[in-house]
Structure formats: structure tokens, C-alpha cells
């Protein structure tokens, strides 16, 4: 079985001692095995077509994914990070602007803001949770703030209505980072549904993953979609007419063809993730040293990962590794303490909630292809852990 980091995360505290004998954090061969005939046919269709970029597969995927999300336009690009950066640029966010981002997220959220020339300004997660909320955003707004990037982290949507109200009052753009939330619903609407502007990643380990890099922006705004189409292709609408200074972030036809096959299976695979989450909750609910992730009553969670929380994270990761259960920490180093943001003036202690989450979260194996036997092995391994006194 393939062992590959899930999400875009790196750094595994618990590599299995006995690979093959245990439970991998993520198995990327199983999804291909399940859809092999359809994927092979789709790839071969593209290879024979002689059309490899900006052709019929991209057009079809864009229209299918926009329809799936419940909006009018989708512009496919080369990665989730590019989707975020180009969306910010299309919204007119750039040098001199501050953009509010979660203190607890994958670094790509911050990097995209920096790449657009703006400054990421962290907002701590609300209460005891992992997501930002409207009150935290409002408290962080200054005259320099131009936009906010809520992240539907781990597959759970942010509470958008109050956040949109705050953003509207302060004249802020809202760009949703939906890289981990394909198919999730907020009050019955899919993440990305109009009037959202949302960026998705199709990194292989995401709920909707390509077989390589990919990303997309969805929007209900025709003009914004038009600017994004230019920004992904050297600022041009027509060959050799360059209206904007921009590079190349095209998604290729092979990836689009693969994504179309997998999109048809997304809801079913998300449902399998939800069943596994239910099983984890039923099996681990009574442990007083362990906090399990929850879904708000208004949310349909798509369980991109299943992060449990404990003060004994490193010991638990070690115990699970001994039992052959591979885990990952999302994310072991908070963004502001990464060397990449050393110059941001955010020393250790400045974002205590993000720092605690980085020390206490541990993600259990999660995905549509975790077998019943593997789920049992995970439950047994967690239940047999004795936290040190």
C-alpha cells in the first residue's frame, strides 16, 4: 500500500514500524483501483485527442464542478495555492493590503496572500475549536484590511452568514479556502455555492483529488471568472494579446478528464468518510483524555481528515505507530513559527491557540477506502493507550 501524506501536509510523527502490516494514513492506490476502467478510458481519450491544454475536458469539468457546487463559473488552475493567489489578484487585492487568515491552517493559505503581494494577518480560532468566526475577524479589522480568507478546515465549513455580515460592514472581500471541503454543506448549500468566491485544491490526497496537481476557483461573478481565465494564461483572452501581467497556471486535459470521473463518485466517497467518522465517534466517545472532532448542527462535514485532540499527542502517536497505525499531525508547526514567516514579527507565544493545536492534534487514518478491519485496528489501538499520569 502507498503511504503518502494526506492533505498537503508534511511531517509524520508516527511512521509505521511495520509497513504493510498496519493501517496506512492514506491509501492512494485504492481509489485508482476502484475507478481504474473509467480513469484509464478517460486518460486514453485525452492522449489520443492531441488536445492537451484548455480543451474540451477542462471546459466540461469546469461546467460540471460549478454545477456540483451550485454556482455559475469554475476556472481550473494548476494548484490550490494558485487558485487562492489568482482569486485574490482577480479581486484586486495586492501590495499594501492586509488579508485576514486563520492562525491555524495549512501554510498555503498564508503563502497565497504573500504571493499576491499582500500581508497575511492571523486570526485565532474561535472558542475551543479549529475554525475562525465572525467575532475574531471583526476584532482584527483595521483600515488596511481588504479581505478575509476563511478556511473550511478538515472538511467542516466556517459559519459564513455572520462572517459575511461583518465583511460587508467593513467592505472586505471574502475568499473561501475550500481546499479541504469539496462537497461539504453550509446550511444546506454546498461550499462554493453562489454568492461565494471559493478556491479548491485537487492535490491527490484531497476529497476530490487529481493524479497530480490541480485547483480551481468557483464564483457566481462572470467578470471575476473572466479575469481569472486571463490570469491563469499569461493575462490573455486571445492568443498573443496580453492584457494583464501574469504567468501560467493552466490545468491540463488529462487531470480534468480524471477529475470528471472522480467527481461522479465524490458524494459516495464523502458518505463513506462520514460513516467512518461515526464509527470513530461511537468507539472513542467515552475516553476522557481525548477530544473528538464535531460537526455543527448546520454543517455537513466531509471529514477530509479526522483530527483528535489530546495533551498526550506525541505519546499517543508513538503508541499507534507501535500498533502499526500511521497518523499525521495537521499541522505540527504553526505557520507563524515556520522559518518562512520568521520576519512577520509573530514570536512564540503570540498565537497561543494555534500553538496549542499544533501540539495537541493528531489525525487518524480517514478516507473512503479504510476497511472495517482497519477501522477496528485503529479503535483497538487508541483504546489500548494509557495516558501518562
Ligand X SMILES: *Cc1c(COP(=O)(O)O)cnc(C)c1O
- Residues near ligand X (CB under 6 A) are 7-8, 79-81, 105-106, 108-109, 151, 177, 179-180, 201, 203, 213, 215
Burial of 388 (0-12, 13-18, 19+ CB in 10 A): exposed
Return the closest-CA partner of residue 111 out of 69, 83, 92, 130. Answer: 83
Least distance between ligand X and beta carbon 216 (Å): 10
By beta-carbon proximity to ligand X, the closer residue of 23 and 112 is 112
By beta-carbon proximity to ligand X, the closer residue of 8 and 42 is 8
Residue number closest to ligand X, CB atom: 80
| CA separation for the pair 74, 220 (Å, rounded) | 9
| CA separation for the pair 384, 307 (Å, rounded) | 18
Least distance between ligand X and beta carbon 46 (Å): 21
Return the closest-CA partner of residue 110 out of 341, 358, 347. Answer: 341
Least distance between ligand X and beta carbon 301 (Å): 15
CB-CB contact of 226 with 107 (8 Å): no
Return the closest-CA partner of residue 181 out of 302, 83, 94. Answer: 302
The β-bridge partners of 299 are 186
| CA separation for the pair 58, 53 (Å, rounded) | 8
By beta-carbon proximity to ligand X, the closer residue of 86 and 137 is 86
By beta-carbon proximity to ligand X, the closer residue of 233 and 249 is 249
| CA separation for the pair 309, 349 (Å, rounded) | 20
Least distance between ligand X and beta carbon 386 (Å): 33
- Cα 372 from chain centroid? 26
| CA separation for the pair 155, 351 (Å, rounded) | 23
* Coil vs helix vs strand at 167: helix
CB-CB contact of 177 with 152 (8 Å): yes
**Cell numbers 478556491 correspond to what residue?**
199
Q: Report the DSSP pairing between strands 215-219 and 73-77.
A: antiparallel
* Active-site pick, 182, 206, 304, 353: 206
The β-bridge partners of 308 are 362
By beta-carbon proximity to ligand X, the closer residue of 130 and 219 is 130
| CA separation for the pair 148, 175 (Å, rounded) | 6
Least distance between ligand X and beta carbon 79 (Å): 4
By beta-carbon proximity to ligand X, the closer residue of 182 and 319 is 182
CB-CB contact of 292 with 278 (8 Å): no
Least distance between ligand X and beta carbon 305 (Å): 9
By beta-carbon proximity to ligand X, the closer residue of 71 and 180 is 180
Active site residue 206: yes
Query: Which residues belong to the active site?
Result: 206
Amino acid at each position: 500500500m502507498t503511504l503518502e501524506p494526506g492533505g498537503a501536509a508534511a511531517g509524520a510523527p508516527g511512521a509505521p514500524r511495520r509497513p504493510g502490516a498496519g493501517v496506512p494514513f492514506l491509501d492512494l492506490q485504492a481509489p485508482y483501483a476502484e475507478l481504474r476502467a473509467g480513469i484509464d478510458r478517460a486518460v486514453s481519450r485525452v492522449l489520443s485527442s492531441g488536445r492537451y491544454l484548455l480543451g474540451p475536458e477542462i471546459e466540461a469539468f469546469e461546467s460540471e464542478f460549478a454545477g456540483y457546487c451550485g454556482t455559475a463559473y469554475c476556472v481550473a488552475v494548476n494548484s490550490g495555492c494558485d487558485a487562492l493567489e489568482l482569486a485574490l489578484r482577480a479581486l484586486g487585492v495586492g501590495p499594501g493590503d492586509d488579508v485576514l487568515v486563520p492562525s491555524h491552517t495549512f501554510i498555503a493559505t498564508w503563502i497565497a496572500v504573500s504571493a499576491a503581494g499582500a500581508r497575511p494577518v492571523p486570526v485565532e480560532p474561535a472558542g475551543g475549536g479549529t475554525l475562525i468566526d465572525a467575532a475574531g475577524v471583526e476584532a482584527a479589522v483595521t483600515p488596511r484590511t481588504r479581505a478575509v480568507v476563511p478556511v473550511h478546515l478538515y472538511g467542516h465549513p466556517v459559519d459564513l452568514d455572520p462572517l459575511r455580515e461583518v465583511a460587508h460592514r467593513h467592505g472586505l472581500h471574502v475568499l473561501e479556502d475550500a481546499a479541504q471541503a469539496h462537497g461539504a454543506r453550509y446550511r444546506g448549500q454546498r461550499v462554493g455555492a453562489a454568492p461565494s468566491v471559493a478556491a479548491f485544491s485537487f492535490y491527490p490526497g484531497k476529497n476530490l483529488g487529481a493524479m497530480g496537481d490541480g485547483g480551481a476557483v468557483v464564483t457566481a461573478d462572470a467578470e471575476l471568472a473572466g479575469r481569472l481565465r486571463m490570469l491563469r494564461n499569461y493575462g490573455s483572452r486571445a492568443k498573443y494579446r496580453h492584457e494583464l501581467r501574469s504567468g501560467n497556471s493552466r490545468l491540463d486535459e488529462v487531470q480534468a478528464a480524471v477529475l470528471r470521473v472522480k467527481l461522479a463518485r465524490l458524494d459516495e466517497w464523502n458518505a463513506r468518510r462520514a460513516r467512518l467518522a461515526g464509527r470513530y465517534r461511537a468507539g472513542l466517545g467515552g475516553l476522557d483524555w481525548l477530544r473528538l472532532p464535531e460537526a455543527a448542527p448546520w454543517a455537513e462535514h466531509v471529514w477530509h481528515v479526522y483530527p483528535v485532540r489530546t495533551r498526550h499527542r506525541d505519546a499517543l502517536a508513538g503508541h499507534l505507530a507501535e500498533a502499526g497505525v500511521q497518523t499525521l499531525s495537521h499541522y505540527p508547526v504553526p505557520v507563524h513559527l515556520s522559518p518562512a514567516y520568521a520576519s512577520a514579527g509573530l514570536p512564540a507565544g503570540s498565537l497561543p491557540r494555534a500553538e496549542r493545536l499544533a501540539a495537541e492534534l493528531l489525525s487518524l487514518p480517514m478516507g473512503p477506502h479504510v476497511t472495517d478491519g482497519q477501522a477496528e485496528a485503529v479503535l483497538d489501538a487508541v483504546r489500548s493507550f494509557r495516558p501518562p499520569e
